[in-house]
Chain A
């Protein structure tokens, strides 16, 4: 038993070394001939400062897929602010019956809410529900497009989290810890698997809704992992990747000549100092030159055919969730490993029109319904859904009670933050389709079956990529850290 594990380990390590070398030769084709293995370590990474103790690539050797992956890449659609599951997916007839009745004290005892105080009233669904598809999944009338693709999807009805404020909950969802400073899930994946595309960043972030999410860019930060692994924000307006365009007057030819001159001089420098870091720099300038071409290409949706624009509801040149969905598909085609979309504006408290279930929430639904459904169909028709995992959800859920901020009535209808039960969905690579997993109680307050904790969800995402969440670790401050902290169980029931 132990022995066979050793052989397996050995084989994997040998493969990893080979891959790393191949990866290197592919990336750093600088025509400089034979290079020591030491310079391989320098290729993507950094100088000798990160030598034997914390050289992430040395670690990488041991953690390349722990087992056969089902998904090669992830598209993660995060609904920042947290949409109400009770207006979208979690249908509870009892809640409608209880509408406007005071909340029983038993539901309030020992609970911490962000804004509810005193005794709030129950709030029935602010939408109507029907069952769709062969799977008979419940979807509300807020998502007419999505109701047609439910058979591609696996719903998780009883997800729960530990955090009830936006920034900590978003960090918890993305980095496994409510505090700042840990690597995001995309960074962990890039660290574990590297990139499939040499000319594009391996971890791309697209933001819409006019705001970055509450926890800011830390959500795609690399924490204590080297900055190489942080998400690169790509934008629909301005430079698609910061500083990717040449300054005015610098043509592509002239840029090429400049880089050639820089690299020639750097090569002479290498002959004097023999510092492998110089070889890395030469390779990175070539890579930068390639990115200058490939990034704007990948980010240019204007060449997509009309029927695709129609399908997604895209308008080239604008920043929208629809454009970002289409971009996500293009980046997935290009082999970007982790594509993360954030769409802001789901915090439906009811304290103002823009955050009301009967106003702003409707707009948000319209913004996401068509494009996210189109994304699934488009991935499917291109055969990409098989090995692309799509994840959708907010950072927590919303209460079955109506929010009564400071004990007062809100001018609009809304729900407070809720940690105990909310709906997320997954689709594609390695996940069963047409499944509804987990169940909440009769008012959607607690999970009663198939509860999935945030760490379980993270463990499952890593699992589909062939990564064991307990083994994907990085030493920092005297401890081996991992995405799922000290818990997390893969949700085996939803694996295809």
Chain B
């Protein structure tokens, strides 16, 4: 009995213990560590930050930054008490019974699960965490390997792990026809020829695939394909945007991008040259052209627009674009207020802005600063003139390694041509001939000052300065100062009228030259080398009286031999060598003396200037190295430094998306808390680290590694199971299948019809486009299609007018390139069908292909169709497709033999060849789903 009792008690004891254990394990499970980033932040973003974030801070309380969230609100309460959810106002308010008190206000209460997550997070100490993208990747990351025959390289383990986790298996390798078309379209943007297909299929060597891959990586068309991607990010276009949207001569930048990809320029260098090539020591012409990346911002040439307003708009675009392209960060949100969701403060926007705010460009119509590019024959002419000058005056020092404009500057010294000035403020340049203080509203400039300068000029023995000007009034004075706008005045000229008053005389030349001696007093100040600053002072701000045109300044030195007539003439010839000269906009930094101050724009309004800021990077990101001056170059280097691996993540993801159709982070443009989380975070980090460390930023090496993987080589065929478990193929259980880009669709049609003219680079071209598409205001520019091979160039070279983009490309989702676009959303519309069926470009392609099919079929319709299908799709036609196409051929034959045939005809452009049954078949082939898709 006793025993039994004991036993019972024991049993009870055991049960209690078991219950205890059970509840303990329950609470153990509850106590699983809550991750701020994974679990808490999404709840805050969804329900709280709209009122307690970067825009509004209701009750003086925000949940955006740790110090604010854990700080004290307006009410004096500490809202979150780490470790004590029960007494935390934060929890009290979300579970409150009174709907007027309960958070979120005027919205349904949080779910039990959300409340529980937040409660446990506070109880566990309310630990704050950085967002995943701002935490550096673990440098020892490596895949969990397993024994699997499918795997080709380490990448595949990351994919396979996830697939197995979801009970999915990968797909087998696609057949060789598919592989060569896939590789070819992905790497060079063009389909393979039937001969290339056969060579690959018949290549029995074990490394046939690698050989093909390497061959395509080395193709000169590689750069064209990848430039097409980069140009969306660079918002490259052939026009300036806004109202008149006139021509911009910036195609050299496009060619620079092509060449950089072809040469496999390391991506860090690629970055630095584009963002700050001008700040490198003695930049090459190519490095200057690279800086046009940020000269692709728009310039407003509409009459009556405030240049400063649109200069600021351009800088804002540069900040937003840079942060989106390299950091996957949506900085544009921070223009007007702190970021609503991500940890960036309003002020930090302007600190980043300050890096970009110091370039010389100022929304001027002629887009100065420009790179002057001389045609070959002019260069020869100029060099001959240099020789003449050296012969006449050996003391003149011309540095033959310098750029041509610099050499000209040296050759004409001590003449100073305003067009060659080193920096300027608020002045306007006119056709390279003269400079003026005409800036639309003379009085509108910042502080109403107009000036320009020449750097580093020896003023020992300077006796006089002469000025050549033209003016309708006598309201302006030119003053020469040393080193800064507030520097010592050494010389000045009151400009008298040189022509009758009135606006209609303003632009007449009527120049006059006057020599002003430097006074004895002023002479005492002259020694050494200085920057000479010339300011045009006008007292009344009247138009046109206050405006002068200034064509030349000449310095006169003691004991200087006056230039003889022939030297004068040669120098003038040199200044006049503008024949065929083209200007391409580039970046140039303002000199320290002319540097702009950056102030916060309150609520994003450029007229409401707040606190002054210095250039700096946002606190959430790694800090800028202390030992270098904080300028654009330092910023560019910081972007690609080892300390800032976010760049490598963002960039690797961009390349991945181009190949797989979807990024590892689907929102290429946003790695912040509102973006998507990576589907394979470890793979992303692994690739980012390898891109920087192993591949040394080589894009080709990165692509090669990805394309060698079994993941990449999978067949795109799907099964019901895969469709159900992974409808969008985010887990990559099969090969990616997606529609070709606008450029690829055009290029492919041109290749398979044999029409493509594959020259690389040069000015943009105007292939056929329907009449009446271009109707820009105040612009005589016209769309003219020459009757030569330029109508068959790759889509990348099609003239890109922002306000009137090429219609067929727009139909296939190409952007208008007004702003940076990270990914094109692919649509599928009837207008696209109309393009590939009826656009004369595609009709011409069908006709050329049809002709080829007819000729090579030698009267055999089956053979003709087989040939055409293989040219277009890189594979043999299957029997049932052949039957369908043959039936179409036969119907077309009957239809076309009837006289009534012409029911509708295209009024835009009569095709060159008549419609034949084979053209009809070719037209069908060029419209097949498998033709416009890449699998």
Report yes or no: A407 in contact with B542, Cβ–Cβ below 8 A.
Answer: yes
The answer to whether A244 and B776 touch (CB under 8 A), given A284-B832, A479-B330, is no
The answer to whether A254 and B333 touch (CB under 8 A), given A51-B728, A284-B832, is no
Subset of 9 A-B contacts with CB under 8 Å: A221-B816, A243-B770, A243-B834, A243-B835, A245-B838, A250-B920, A274-B719, A274-B723, A478-B339
Across-interface contacts of B113 in A (CB, < 8 A): none
Q: In this complex, which of B661, B669, B905 has the most chain A Cβ atoms within 10 angstroms of its Cβ?
A: B905
Q: Does B843 make an interface contact (CB < 8 A)?
A: yes
> Which A residues, 200 to 249, have Cβ-Cβ distances below 8 Å to chain B?
201, 207, 210-218, 221, 226-228, 230, 232, 235, 237-239, 241-249
A180-B241, A248-B910 given; name 20 further pairs at CB < 8 Å: A1-B99, A2-B106, A6-B108, A50-B825, A51-B728, A212-B775, A212-B777, A212-B804, A213-B777, A218-B816, A230-B810, A246-B906, A258-B837, A275-B718, A277-B739, A277-B929, A284-B833, A285-B833, A406-B543, A478-B670
Report yes or no: A226 in contact with B827, Cβ–Cβ below 8 A.
Answer: yes
* Complex A-B, nearest 8 residue pairs according to Cβ-Cβ distance, in ascending order: A216-B803, A249-B915, A114-B304, A478-B330, A288-B833, A180-B818, A48-B728, A288-B830
- The residue that A48 contacts in the complex, of B303, B729, B905, B929, with Cβ under 8 A, is B729
Q: Taking CB as reference atom, which chain B residue is nearest A407? A: B543
The answer to whether A46 and B672 touch (CB under 8 A), given A215-B242, A252-B904, is no
Report yes or no: B911 in contact with A247, Cβ–Cβ below 8 A.
Answer: yes
Report yes or no: A249 in contact with B884, Cβ–Cβ below 8 A.
Answer: no
Q: Does B457 make an interface contact (CB < 8 A)?
A: no
Q: Does B826 make an interface contact (CB < 8 A)?
A: yes
> Which B residues, 227 to 277, have Cβ-Cβ distances below 8 Å to chain A?
241-243, 245
Report yes or no: A285 in contact with B313, Cβ–Cβ below 8 A.
Answer: no
A456-489 CB contact bits vs B (8 Å, 1 = yes)?
0000000000000000000101110000000000
The answer to whether A478 and B672 touch (CB under 8 A), given A42-B828, A258-B888, A285-B830, is yes
Report yes or no: B330 in contact with A272, Cβ–Cβ below 8 A.
Answer: no
The answer to whether A54 and B885 touch (CB under 8 A), given A239-B908, A246-B905, A477-B324, is no
Report yes or no: B895 in contact with A47, Cβ–Cβ below 8 A.
Answer: no
- The residue that A284 contacts in the complex, of B340, B729, B830, with Cβ under 8 A, is B830
The answer to whether A2 and B99 touch (CB under 8 A), given A46-B827, A266-B928, is yes
Report yes or no: B929 in contact with A281, Cβ–Cβ below 8 A.
Answer: yes
Report yes or no: B332 in contact with A244, Cβ–Cβ below 8 A.
Answer: no
> Which B residues, 842 to 882, have Cβ-Cβ distances below 8 Å to chain A?
843, 880-881
> Which B residues, 799 to 820, have Cβ-Cβ distances below 8 Å to chain A?
802-805, 807-808, 810-811, 813, 816, 818-819
Q: Taking CB as reference atom, which chain A residue is nearest B812? A: A227
User: Which size class do A's interface residues fall under?
Assistant: 35 or more
Q: Does A381 make an interface contact (CB < 8 A)?
A: no
Q: Does A197 make an interface contact (CB < 8 A)?
A: no
Assembly CA distance A181 to B772 (angstroms): 24
B302: min CB distance to chain A, Å: 5
Across-interface contacts of B932 in A (CB, < 8 A): 281
Report yes or no: B772 in contact with A238, Cβ–Cβ below 8 A.
Answer: yes
> Which A residues, 3 to 19, have Cβ-Cβ distances below 8 Å to chain B?
6
B42: min CB distance to chain A, Å: 13
Across-interface contacts of A232 in B (CB, < 8 A): 831
Report yes or no: B906 in contact with A248, Cβ–Cβ below 8 A.
Answer: yes
Across-interface contacts of A262 in B (CB, < 8 A): 924, 927-928
- The residue that B828 contacts in the complex, of A45, A201, A215, A265, with Cβ under 8 A, is A45
Report yes or no: B834 in contact with A477, Cβ–Cβ below 8 A.
Answer: no
B120-159 CB contact bits vs A (8 Å, 1 = yes)?
0000000000000000000000000000000000000000
Q: Does A135 make an interface contact (CB < 8 A)?
A: no
Report yes or no: A251 in contact with B895, Cβ–Cβ below 8 A.
Answer: yes
Across-interface contacts of B304 in A (CB, < 8 A): 113-115, 164-165, 417
Across-interface contacts of B933 in A (CB, < 8 A): 275, 277
Across-interface contacts of B727 in A (CB, < 8 A): 38, 48
Across-interface contacts of B833 in A (CB, < 8 A): 281, 284-285, 287-288
Q: Does B891 make an interface contact (CB < 8 A)?
A: yes
Assembly CA distance A201 to B923 (angstroms): 24
Report yes or no: B772 in contact with A235, Cβ–Cβ below 8 A.
Answer: yes
Report yes or no: A408 in contact with B503, Cβ–Cβ below 8 A.
Answer: yes
Assembly CA distance A216 to B907 (angstroms): 24
Assembly CA distance A239 to B321 (angstroms): 38
Q: Taking CB as reference atom, which chain B residue is nearest A216? A: B803
Q: Does A344 make an interface contact (CB < 8 A)?
A: yes
Q: Taking CB as reference atom, which chain A residue is nearest B109? A: A2
Assembly CA distance A475 to B823 (angstroms): 14
Q: How many residues of B contact A (CB 8 A)?
A: 120
Q: Taking CB as reference atom, which chain B residue is nearest A171? A: B242
Report yes or no: B776 in contact with A211, Cβ–Cβ below 8 A.
Answer: yes
Report yes or no: A227 in contact with B811, Cβ–Cβ below 8 A.
Answer: yes
Across-interface contacts of A441 in B (CB, < 8 A): none
Assembly CA distance A217 to B340 (angstroms): 32
Assembly CA distance A243 to B832 (angstroms): 10
Report yes or no: B771 in contact with A238, Cβ–Cβ below 8 A.
Answer: yes
Assembly CA distance A112 to B902 (angstroms): 59
A43: min CB distance to chain B, Å: 9
Assembly CA distance A46 to B739 (angstroms): 10
Report yes or no: A216 in contact with B825, Cβ–Cβ below 8 A.
Answer: no
Q: Does A158 make an interface contact (CB < 8 A)?
A: no
Across-interface contacts of B666 in A (CB, < 8 A): 51, 53
Q: Taking CB as reference atom, which chain B residue is nearest A252? A: B903
The answer to whether A210 and B728 touch (CB under 8 A), given A226-B825, A285-B927, is no
Report yes or no: B920 in contact with A46, Cβ–Cβ below 8 A.
Answer: no
Q: Does B341 make an interface contact (CB < 8 A)?
A: yes
Assembly CA distance A384 to B885 (angstroms): 47
Report yes or no: A227 in contact with B825, Cβ–Cβ below 8 A.
Answer: yes
Assembly CA distance A247 to B912 (angstroms): 11
Across-interface contacts of A71 in B (CB, < 8 A): none
Report yes or no: B901 in contact with A180, Cβ–Cβ below 8 A.
Answer: no
Assembly CA distance A115 to B304 (angstroms): 6
Report yes or no: A268 in contact with B305, Cβ–Cβ below 8 A.
Answer: no
Assembly CA distance A218 to B492 (angstroms): 50
Q: Does A22 make an interface contact (CB < 8 A)?
A: no
> Which B residues, 78 to 133, have Cβ-Cβ distances below 8 Å to chain A?
99, 106-108
A236: min CB distance to chain B, Å: 10
Q: Does B645 make an interface contact (CB < 8 A)?
A: no
- The residue that B825 contacts in the complex, of A46, A212, A238, A278, with Cβ under 8 A, is A46
- The residue that B908 contacts in the complex, of A166, A238, A261, A268, with Cβ under 8 A, is A238
- The residue that A478 contacts in the complex, of B342, B825, B902, B915, with Cβ under 8 A, is B342
Across-interface contacts of B924 in A (CB, < 8 A): 258, 261-262, 265
The answer to whether A268 and B881 touch (CB under 8 A), given A242-B807, A247-B840, is yes
- The residue that A52 contacts in the complex, of B330, B728, B908, B923, with Cβ under 8 A, is B728
Across-interface contacts of B305 in A (CB, < 8 A): 114, 165
Across-interface contacts of B106 in A (CB, < 8 A): 2
Across-interface contacts of B718 in A (CB, < 8 A): 273-275
Q: Taking CB as reference atom, which chain A residue is nearest B663? A: A49
Report yes or no: A227 in contact with B911, Cβ–Cβ below 8 A.
Answer: no
A278-295 CB contact bits vs B (8 Å, 1 = yes)?
101110110110011000
Across-interface contacts of A449 in B (CB, < 8 A): none
A464: min CB distance to chain B, Å: 26
Across-interface contacts of A230 in B (CB, < 8 A): 810
Q: Does B711 make an interface contact (CB < 8 A)?
A: no
A66-79 CB contact bits vs B (8 Å, 1 = yes)?
00000000000000
Report yes or no: A167 in contact with B302, Cβ–Cβ below 8 A.
Answer: yes
The answer to whether A265 and B928 touch (CB under 8 A), given A49-B661, A52-B728, is yes
Report yes or no: B804 in contact with A478, Cβ–Cβ below 8 A.
Answer: no
Report yes or no: B828 in contact with A281, Cβ–Cβ below 8 A.
Answer: yes
Across-interface contacts of B342 in A (CB, < 8 A): 478
Q: Does B674 make an interface contact (CB < 8 A)?
A: yes
Report yes or no: B906 in contact with A239, Cβ–Cβ below 8 A.
Answer: yes
> Which B residues, 533 to 590, have Cβ-Cβ distances below 8 Å to chain A?
542-544
Q: Taking CB as reference atom, which chain A residue is nearest B330? A: A478
The answer to whether A477 and B330 touch (CB under 8 A), given A42-B828, A238-B770, A291-B834, is yes
Q: Does B730 make an interface contact (CB < 8 A)?
A: yes
> Which B residues, 283 to 314, have Cβ-Cβ distances below 8 Å to chain A?
298, 300, 302-306, 313
